[in-house]
Chains A and B, each alone.
Chain A
Amino acid sequence: GEDVEQSLFLSVREGDSSVINCTYTDSSSTYLYWYKQEPGAGLQLLTYIFSNMDMKQDQRLTVLLNKKDKHLSLRIADTQTGDSAIYFCAESRAGGSYIPTFGRGTSLIVHP
Chain B
Amino acid sequence: NAGVTQTPKFQVLKTGQSMTLQCAQDMNHNSMYWYRQDPGMGLRLIYYSASEGTTDKGEVPNGYNVSRLNKREFSLRLESAAPSQTSVYFCASSAQGKEKLFFGSGTQLSVL
Contacts and interface: CB of A to CB of B under 8 A. Distances in A.
Interface of A: 4, 8, 31, 33, 40-45, 48, 88, 92, 97-105
Interface of B: 4, 33, 35, 40-45, 48, 50, 58, 90, 92, 97-98, 100-101, 103-106
Nearest to B59: A101
B106 A48 contact: no
A75 to B, nearest CB: 20
Contacts of A98: 97-98
A102 to B, nearest CB: 4
A103 B43 CA distance: 7
Given A44-B103, A88-B43, 18 more contacts: A4-B42, A8-B40, A31-B98, A40-B105, A41-B105, A41-B106, A42-B4, A42-B90, A42-B92, A42-B105, A43-B103, A88-B42, A98-B98, A99-B45, A100-B101, A102-B35, A102-B44, A105-B42
Given A40-B105, A41-B106, A42-B4, A92 B98 contact: yes
Contacts of B40: 8, 104
Contact of B43 (A40, A41, A43): A43
A99 B100 contact: no
A79 to B, nearest CB: 22
Nearest to B42: A104
